[in-house]
Chain A
């Protein structure tokens, strides 16, 4: 009798967990998509049934996740080189590139069709265009071709509030366009501020970031120019149906601080920046996140303020107020 010993070793380090598939959808980007789409949906005139609204938000987020998965499939070679992205599921070897592609295409189809069925065809078409724009125009074409990649690619991130608005109204309006422009013009200064203190990563991956192709002095000037160009759109939104005095006041203050930060970045030399560890660039980058969050928060606040009389009337009709 022979003693058979099968020495089977299986490296399960590379076996994907459920969380790896969630990571493919870029949950942090999705959270921004959910927030801005929700604002677009709430501030739009009219209302969806709560379940329709919930479905709209879920499928807009899923569409964003699908484009994230397609991005991770296509960019696995770049992600492998960059320190910040080398731990992602595809470059780390936990998820096969083909799996990421399949997940991306499947979720794209599901999210577009379901958003169309839950709301309307234009919202579904806009979501499809957003996924196409991010996956094909940005990821496959512009990202490796031009240092203006994030300027045009930023449009993909700017669509969600417009989709939220269209999901309710069925049409595109000036308010939806201004919300789009707010994110579109905000993206370049936000990312270039990041690129200034994360220089080595993009350089290693040969991604033509403006800092690599045109130098850091030009990038500093671009941050200032785009910040100046952003301000009219941010303020203009205050004069439409989604704005108001509270929004305008907050927007004025936020734009003043952002402009001051962009000015400070433009005035600095590399020596000064290196001396204090890019303190100003890091501060402006962090502030830019608050800038966008507070602008959209102000849209929400204005919507709540303008609807207060209607809510009070609604509550009074049920004699709820008599309790107080």
Chain B
């Protein structure tokens, strides 16, 4: 008897692995889609990026930068 013989047990485990893989792929696709949706409908995406930008400071709203 070859040690590599396919057992019914292996089929079950393979089914479980494939199922879990599909769930994980679906989750990744969903999170990616959510990210795109959030970015598309998001508010201002600007940030300070390590240096102070007066145009983004709420205190400067009365004197907006041109």
Contact = CB atoms under 8 A, between A and B. Distances in A.
Contact of A17 (B15, B33, B41): B15
Interface residues of A, number: 16
A55 B34 contact: yes
Interface string A5-16: 000001010011
8 contacts: A12-B7, A12-B12, A15-B12, A16-B12, A17-B15, A51-B37, A52-B34, A54-B30
A49 B8 contact: no
Contact of A51 (B12, B15, B20, B33): B33
Contacts of B38: 52
A17 B16 contact: yes
Given A10-B9, A12-B12, A55-B30, A18 B20 contact: yes
A117 B40 CA distance: 15
Contacts of A49: 37, 40-41
A18 B30 contact: no
A24 to B, nearest CB: 13
Contacts of B37: 49-52
B64 interface: no
B11 to A, nearest CB: 10
Interface of B: 7-9, 12-13, 15-16, 18-20, 30, 33-34, 36-38, 40-41
Nearest to B18: A18
Q: Summarize B's interface: helix, strand, loop or mixed.
A: helix
Nearest to B30: A55
A42 to B, nearest CB: 18
A49 B30 CA distance: 13
A257 interface: no
A72 interface: no
A152 interface: no
Contacts of A10: 9
* Closest 8 pairs between A and B when the two form their complex, measured CB to CB: A18-B19, A51-B37, A49-B37, A12-B9, A51-B33, A18-B16, A18-B15, A55-B34
Nearest to A15: B12
A32 interface: no
B32 to A, nearest CB: 10
Contacts of A118: 34
A107 B10 CA distance: 26
A51 B34 contact: yes
Contact of A16 (B16, B30, B40): B16
